[in-house]
Amino acid sequence: MEKIVESFELFGKHYTMTTGELAKQASGSVVVTCGDTTVLVTAVISKEERDYDFFPLTVDFMEKMYAVGRIPGGYLKREAKPSDKGTLIARMIDRPIRPGFVDGFKREVHIVATTLVVDGENPPDTICVGGASAALMIGAAPFDGPAACVRIARNPETGEFIVNPTYAEMEASDLELTIAGTADYISMVEAGAKGVSEEDMLAAMTFGQEAIAEFCAVQQRFLDRCNIEPKEWPIHVPDPAIEERVSPYLEQMSAALHDADKATRMAKVEALKDEIKASQFTEEEQAAWKSDIAAVTKALEKKAMRAMVLATGERADGRAPDEIRPLYIVPGFLPRVHGSGLFQRGQTQALSVCTLGMLNEWQRLDTIDPAEGKRYMHQYNFPPYSTGETGRMGAPKRREIGHGALAERALLPVLPTEDEFPYAIRVVSEILESNGSSSMASTCGSTLALMDAGVPIKAPVSGIAMGLIKEGDDVVILSDIQGIEDFLGDMDFKVCGTAEGITALQMDNKAKGLSVDILARALKQAKEGRAFILDAMLQTIDAPRPELSAYAPRIETIHIPVDKIREVIGTGGKVVRGIQDETGASIDIHEDGTIHIAAIDGEAGEAAKAMILGIVKEPEVGEEYEGEVVGIKDFGAFVKLTPSKDGLLHISRVANGRIGKVEDVLSIGDVVKVKVIEVDPNTGKISLDRLDKPEAPAAPAGEARPRRERSDRGEHKDNRPGRSSREGRPAGRTPRRRHEPKE
């Protein structure tokens, strides 16, 4: 294919799409740019068909540090495993692309998005979705495209929506909505917000859908120039005989699904599937049609569940569509930890634990993203025992990283600022049981943990997962979906927020033709569900604890002049380490002179604070000190007032009376009480007076107190007018006083 370039302007930004120049052995390859940010997206379709009962799509997002002109950190100095941000972007590409493939396509598809240049202004993530769509269509994949993705922000001054905002524009916005799909339907939504209303969120989604349509139109114009050769792909269709033998079991499947207990229901469903296989298929047929039988029986389960909801409005566990499962909420569930909360909804149980630390314990990020790190960390763990299964424990999987990021985004808008609460905050959500909506249980449990820890959040946050069953014009929206409704339904729509508005939102849609009206209904029903759950949470803890846990560090913030930082740190950190060793407190010093002092024991923190303030203190006239004599000279003694300031105690002020030498009264190491009597404004030299003056020691008997010889001061001659030299004066003559009155 020859090189083809499509350049275009949309919504105030410049884009290009290029193919036929790089990575030409891939099934499809496209270079996409926004500003100077440049991403290479490739798609490869396997030449062999796999016998999987799922669609084998893999998406990788490769963060290259050279794209931002940096060398990777670590010992190896090369890119290693994906960062959390890279994993989230890979998921963001996967989620809108996966639903676009035709059912029954079983060839492996691998999409790789590689960052070549990141200009620091335009994020590389959203353009990857359009690049993946174009690469797939250039490779003639059985894909329902074009598809595109946009991010929507809002100008805080004008209220106008911004498409694909820069990092600076996102920072100023109260809304960050990422939405993907085709010109006809929305397939993926991800949002973070500072408490925006459902109406504003819906308006942003509607605007985002219109923007997607324009990007899809430009992409189609680019594809029309590419002379794509159509391909006939083998689409696997199960033998019709399988469905004929399975479909009569629909009523039995409906009966098996009617059970509120997940384990019992799954056991009944699996037992029925085993019965169908054993009674309807020979061993040879089971071996030959293994994956097809599994797929058709799964389709039977899906059909029975959906028919039950659409026909009767009753769900598998007997709930109405808008009914929330029973709640069990316990803040402060664990002793000694800084904060904890147990949140259970039906058979989904999350235990969230909050830990507070120094700001220097924040998470540093070595990624292409401009953010250097984050002070709030939310982590989500999903062990296999939570679903009653065995499995390997290890590094978090993509799903765990995604769910943790969603809960983190939901709580970020309500956290206090660093100035208000100078702590690094880590919340870990352990999913102990799972039957759907565990990420929303994590959000609720984490709100409880933060409040139990005494973190002064602006408002409590609750979350709920919504579902959808849609067959033609028949639509039922489900509140608080459980696992079976997530897997077999058409939508997983998670909404988090406070009583005032939405803070986070995530949606994956499998139903084509999702209208704005359906989204509006889902948002309204979600708001009612969130309010119900939040009310139940506030009945157990209605506000953050007024005091931190006894086991949490107390952090106090002080500010010192920047030119005093070196004195507090000391040579090689000697001074600050000494303070920490002596008091047991932890000290974090910033370049602007801000110092955070943390200690479990309040007295230790106060001692460290006093020592630091003593170092930077500038003595003032009238202040009294108790200091050590650190130097002695003929003219006086130097007394240490602060670790960095000495003052001079003149010999005349060492004792009451005249002394010959300072050493007669003071020695190095003596501690004396002194008062500041003068501070030279030009030199900063400090003069002292001793408060605890002793009497000057008496001279030994028979000895006169030594006096300085006059000769030490040189020969004295008084040449002032009216004075005469004493040399040659007649003996006994008394000189007349200059102003003596005449008789």
Residue 422 to residues 451, 557, 725, Cα–Cα distance (Å): 16, 8, 79
CB atoms within 10 A of CB 404: 25
Three-state SS string across 395-433, please?
A: CCCHHHHHHHHHHHHHHHHHCCCCCCCCCEEEEEEEEEE
CB atoms within 10 A of CB 584: 15
DSSP 701-743: TT-PPP---GGGG------STT---STTPPTTPPPPPTTPPP-
- CB-based contacts of 274, cutoff 8 Å, min separation 6: none
**CA 82/CA 84 separation, integer angstroms:** 7
- Spacing of C-alpha 187 from chain mean position: 26
**CA 296/CA 214 separation, integer angstroms:** 39
Strands 502-509, 554-559: pairing is unpaired
Residue 503 to residues 201, 213, 378, 401, 444, Cα–Cα distance (Å): 10, 26, 15, 19, 13
> Token match 């959500």: residue?
429
Is 634 marked as a binding-site residue?
A: no
Is 486 marked as a binding-site residue?
A: yes
Residue 164's nearest CA partner among 201, 215, 104 is: 215
- Spacing of C-alpha 217 from chain mean position: 36
Cα-Cα-Cα-Cα dihedral sign, residues 289, 290, 291, 293: positive
Residue 259's nearest CA partner among 323, 314, 326 is: 314
Is residue 409 a contact partner of residue 374, using CB atoms and an 8 Å limit?
A: no
Instruction: Please give the span between the terminal C-alpha atoms of the chain, in angstroms, as a whole number.
Output: 133
The helix (H) or strand (E) run that includes residue 441 is: helix 438-452
Output the known binding site for Mg(2+). Answer: 486, 492
Q: Binding site: residue ranges? A: 486, 492
